[in-house]
Amino acid sequence: MIKINLSKGLLISMLFCLTSVVLAQPGKSQQALKPNEQRYRLWYNKPAANWNEALPIGNGHIGGMVFGNVVQERIQLNEGTIWGGGPNNNLDSAAAPHLTEVRSLLTQKKYAEAQQVANKYLGPKGNSGMPYQLAGNLYIQFPGHEEVTRYSRDLDIAKAVATVSYTYKNVEYKREYFTSFTDNVLLVRLTANKPRMVSCQINLQSPLKQRLTATNNDLILAGSGSDHENQQSKIRFNIIARTKIVGGGSTTDSSGIRVQNADTALIYLSIATNFVNYKDVSAQPYQRALKFLDAAYKKRFNELCRAHLKYYQAYFNRVHLNLGTLNNSQPTDVRIQKFATSRDPQLAELYFQFGRYLLISSSQPSSQPANLQGIWNGELKGPWDSKYTVNINTEMNYWPSEVTQLTELNAPLFNMIGELAETGKSSAKVMYGARGWMLHHNTDIWRVTGVVDGAFWGLWPTANAWLCQHLWEHYLFTGDRKFLQQYYPVMKGAAQYFIDVLQKEPDHGWLVVSPSVSPEHEYIGGRNAVSVTAGATMDNQLVFGLFSNLINASTVLNTDQTFADTLKTLRDKLPPMQVGQYGQLQEWLNDLDSKTDNHRHVSHLYGLFPGSQISPFRQPQLFTAARNSLIYRGDVSTGWSMAWKINLWARLLDGNHAYKLIKDQISPVSKQSGGTYPNLFDAHPPFQIDGNFGCTSGIAEMLLQSHDGAIYLLPALPDEWEQGSISGLMARGGFKIGIQWRNHRIYKLSVYSTLGGQCRLRSNQMLNVKTLKTARGNNTNPYFKTDRISKPVLKIPAMQLAYNQPESWLYDLHTQPGKTYTFLIK
Ligand code: FUC
């Protein structure tokens, strides 16, 4: 039982704010933290009551959830390559003949029949993908520590270190935890402010098939992943824990490690698997884990911590956001409860940076991409197997990567896309008789590309186009021509698939993807709901985007002109966007939308965000229609859906509406909708990390946009962010932007140019600076080239879609690579 004197607890937590949590030695005076570091501390005055209160640490490979329990500490462990099953692809060679039948039924407008045949023959036959699984738990028991005071538990995301501290029988105990980025081990340091007071028992446990042994001073857990849906488990892994004791002593056997009367106890823990890549599981997990452990064990805690910090902060410190005064006197869970009704904009700033923390901690250049739960999953089979759902969720994970200057962290996503371009060749060929590559709405560590879950959800063959959009965006942000060259064949393979499968629809002769779905959404409801369709708006936008990017890439790389010409011809035959009877952007080829439909997916708004096919300046009617659609969909939804809407309202230039959605998202989870758990994890519910990343991206999008021919400064600033500053956000064309504002007006602007070239700025205020010239003509910067969008089809009079553009000013600045331009604005 924990007895906490509240006022003392509060006092201590405030004192705690002033002390260093990383380099402190027991008994020595502790360094003061720089004030801004206090801004990034999640803290609590009690242990985690459940998994959604535990605090996440991770280095892309090892993940840990720190519970902070006093008597029996639990750190739930993950390793990014522990998945069920083994190398496989879930293809269905019997599907192909039925494809023609479904296409033909759709052409004949026999929708219910098309759905029935699709359900029967085009659904999953093998497996629906393998689950990502937990590794196990590290338990540390502190017998007797029952009645403690001055309890505090925190996660400092400026340092990527978690801490627990409390007082028991007049002794101050402290535990520090981090997952080293540089040495790939999990480190725990246990200290007390009096000598010889650290005694504990350390254990490893896993609900997976496992065996516990002890060799010398190592406690070793050998485990394997699960068999799942007819796939035999092929993953083998080892967790090894070893202690380093100062004062006192320790003994190790297969029942655990006992530490007696130490001054300090350090736990070094490593985890490794036999996974090499999606088709090779031939590595030796024990040798791998031992190698990491032996190398790290030679180093002292402070040395490891310093290297970890340096590596982490090289990413984290690239972006600084200040949205107002810090009010960290209340625990983070209380701040979440109050956020919607009180004024605490700094919590939005913390949430923004927490998203960056999570991406750095779950997606490292040599790791797997962040999955549905990043790298943190406490179950044998998490929600939706904790896989990669690629009809929104995986992409959303990577929305903040470019704009918040974490571009290197895309590497695992790009690797996965490259691998899918290999495995997806079989599904293109076997299931669709097509060249190129494709996948459906999910994949896993084995890079499966067949249909999962059922045709209603899974018969969506357009994920390749969406994933390829990330490749092109990476080029636009970084100007990395070599990268574009490397991935051009991957993009081309996706386009080849569509060249072969596009079908002529009967009413207009447009070329459409058929069969497909508008992700997970039905256009005929009821017991026999129908989702299977041809020419869903999202598909049209995605294929338009893919073809356009390839056409532009062939110009940049000066290659493949004939192929580009083919794509130009086909692009002209894709369906234009259509505005339906309610003034909405149609989700399907036919005008089937309902004004009261609040489905979580807003797929047809892909063109507004993350796509850039709908502009207030170039397509005002589509812009109004997209806005109408979003109003009809409503605000409150699942976590990731609200996060998407933050980005969409930012693109609709409505900062107050975007902020309203941030408030909806950062509120306690209810039965009706998503929200935020006490540990700041986004709730679908249950926990899904996409909403965290989507909200981080949305906040960036409110402050800076760069997709529509110019860099838009503070395009969607809400009233509540009256003053603030942001630095380090990236714009396309390699511009790094800093903005300071007060009374909602910019007073300082800085532009760092990595690539040089014309920098066109858009601002809602006049920027009275001599060196900024009023813009003339088109932006000559090639990274700002906008694609011509086909004229929309309007089913209501154009005047009903009128849009009053906000007053804004355009300026040009000619930049040299490597130079910073700073402006003080009157
Ligand atoms: C899609 C969404 C669900 C959930 C799942 C992981 O299927 O429609 O809401 O996020 O992915």
Confidence class for position 670, pLDDT limits 50, 70, 90: confident
Task: Identify whether 400 is preceded by a cis peptide bond (ω within 30 of 0).
Answer: no
Question: Which residue type, as a one-letter code, is found at position 126?
Answer: G
Mean pLDDT of 527-533: 96
Based on the fold, state whether residues 209 and 189 are members of the same structural domain. yes
Is 376 contained in some domain? no
pLDDT over 80 at 616, yes or no: yes
Three-state SS at 608: coil
CA of 392 to the centre of ligand 1 (A): 8
Region of poorest pLDDT, from 23-37, 307-321, 424-438, 681-695: 23-37
* Distance, CA of 307 to CA of 513 (rounded, Å): 50
* Closest ligand 1 atom, residue 372 Cα: 6
Instruction: Give per-residue pLDDT as tens, 768-790.
Output: 999 999 999 999 999 999 988 99
* Distance, CA of 743 to CA of 723 (rounded, Å): 6
CA of 694 to the centre of ligand 1 (A): 14
Residues with CB under 6 A from ligand 1: 372, 384, 389, 393, 520, 600-601, 638, 640, 684, 688
Q: What is each CA distance from 523 to 102, 530, 599, 625, in whole angstroms?
A: 16, 6, 11, 19
Based on the fold, state whether residues 404 and 473 are members of the same structural domain. yes
Confidence class for position 673, pLDDT limits 50, 70, 90: confident
Is 615 contained in some domain? no
CA of 247 to the centre of ligand 1 (A): 52
Based on the fold, state whether residues 457 and 568 are members of the same structural domain. yes
* Pair type for strands 578-579 and 264-273: unpaired
Based on the fold, state whether residues 247 and 99 are members of the same structural domain. no
CA of 79 to the centre of ligand 1 (A): 23
* Distance, CA of 177 to CA of 218 (rounded, Å): 19
pLDDT over 90 at 197, yes or no: yes
186 DSSP assignment: E
Mean pLDDT of 313-335: 94
* Closest ligand 1 atom, residue 520 Cα: 8
Is 325 contained in some domain? no
Based on the fold, state whether residues 16 and 155 are members of the same structural domain. yes
Q: Mean pLDDT over all residues of the chain?
A: 94
Mean pLDDT of 122-147: 96
Q: What is each CA distance from 370 to 363, 440, 624, in whole angstroms?
A: 5, 18, 34
CA of 821 to the centre of ligand 1 (A): 44
Residue 259's nearest CA partner among 247, 268, 269 is: 247
* Distance, CA of 287 to CA of 270 (rounded, Å): 11
Based on the fold, state whether residues 157 and 120 are members of the same structural domain. no
Is 232 contained in some domain? yes
pLDDT for residue 149: 97
Angle between helix 690-703 and 655-665 (nearest 10) = 160
Based on the fold, state whether residues 30 and 144 are members of the same structural domain. yes
Is 121 contained in some domain? yes
Work out the number of other CB atoms within 10 angstroms of the CB of residue 403. 26
pLDDT for residue 4: 38
Is residue 593 within 8 Å of residue 630, measured between CB atoms?
no
Based on the fold, state whether residues 100 and 12 are members of the same structural domain. no
Instruction: Give per-residue pLDDT as tens, 474-485.
Output: 999 999 999 999
Domain closes at, from 316, 332, 365: 316
pLDDT over 80 at 291, yes or no: yes
Based on the fold, state whether residues 221 and 119 are members of the same structural domain. no
* Closest ligand 1 atom, residue 688 Cα: 10
Count of domains for the chain: 2
Is residue 265 within 8 Å of residue 118, measured between CB atoms?
no
The residue whose CA is least distant from atom 1 of ligand 1 is: 389
Counting ligand 1 atoms within 8 A of each CB, the residue from 522, 633, 688, 692 with the most, and so the one to mutate, is 688
pLDDT over 90 at 6, yes or no: no
CATH number at residue 155: 2.70.98.50
pLDDT for residue 3: 40
- Which pair of structure tokens corresponds to residue 178? 């981090």
CATH number at residue 451: 1.50.10.10
- Which pair of structure tokens corresponds to residue 355? 């998203």
Region of poorest pLDDT, from 18-32, 293-307, 667-681: 18-32
Confidence class for position 26, pLDDT limits 50, 70, 90: very low
CA of 669 to the centre of ligand 1 (A): 17
Confidence class for position 656, pLDDT limits 50, 70, 90: very high
CA of 92 to the centre of ligand 1 (A): 23
Mean pLDDT of 197-224: 97
* Closest ligand 1 atom, residue 519 Cα: 8
CA of 533 to the centre of ligand 1 (A): 19
pLDDT for residue 590: 97
Long-range contacts of 553-561 (CB under 8 A, 24+ apart): 553/472, 553/475, 553/484, 553/488, 553/491, 556/475, 556/481, 556/484, 556/782, 557/481, 557/484, 557/485, 557/488, 559/488, 560/488, 560/492
Three-state SS at 349: helix
Based on the fold, state whether residues 479 and 554 are members of the same structural domain. yes
pLDDT over 80 at 441, yes or no: yes
Q: What is each CA distance from 453 to 358, 389, 459, in whole angstroms?
A: 28, 11, 9
Confidence class for position 15, pLDDT limits 50, 70, 90: very low
Domain closes at, from 316, 334, 357: 316
CA of 393 to the centre of ligand 1 (A): 7
Question: Which residue type, as a one-letter code, is found at position 765?
Answer: Q
Domain closes at, from 557, 576, 595: 576
User: Where in the sequence is the domain holding 173, given as residue range(s)?
Assistant: 8-84+133-316
- Which pair of structure tokens corresponds to residue 276? 């090499």
Confidence class for position 22, pLDDT limits 50, 70, 90: very low
* Closest ligand 1 atom, residue 391 Cα: 1
Based on the fold, state whether residues 214 and 99 are members of the same structural domain. no
Q: What is each CA distance from 192 to 17, 82, 593, in whole angstroms?
A: 19, 35, 64
Instruction: Give per-residue pLDDT as tens, 168-180.
Output: 999 999 999 999 9
Residue 530's beta-bridge partner residues? 524
Instruction: Give per-residue pLDDT as tens, 737-756.
Output: 999 999 999 999 999 999 99
pLDDT over 90 at 34, yes or no: no
569 DSSP assignment: H
The residue whose CA is least distant from atom 11 of ligand 1 is: 389
* Closest ligand 1 atom, residue 690 Cα: 10
Residue indicated by tokens 């990343």: 693
Percentage of residues of the chain with pLDDT beyond 90: 92
Based on the fold, state whether residues 419 and 563 are members of the same structural domain. yes
pLDDT over 90 at 334, yes or no: yes
pLDDT for residue 37: 58
pLDDT over 60 at 29, yes or no: no
SS3 track for 9-65: HHHHHHHHCCCCCCCCCCCCCCCCCCHHHHHHEEEECCCCCCHHHCEEEECCCEEEE
Radius of gyration of the chain (CA): 27
pLDDT over 60 at 341, yes or no: yes
pLDDT for residue 392: 98
Counting ligand 1 atoms within 8 A of each CB, the residue from 393, 440, 518 with the most, and so the one to mutate, is 393
pLDDT over 50 at 32, yes or no: no
Residue indicated by tokens 């989702």: 531
Percentage of residues of the chain with pLDDT beyond 70: 96
Counting ligand 1 atoms within 8 A of each CB, the residue from 684, 687, 693 with the most, and so the one to mutate, is 684
CA of 206 to the centre of ligand 1 (A): 28
Q: Percentage helix, strand, coil, to 5, in the chain?
A: 35, 25, 45
Residue 604 CA, chain-centre distance (Å), reads: 21
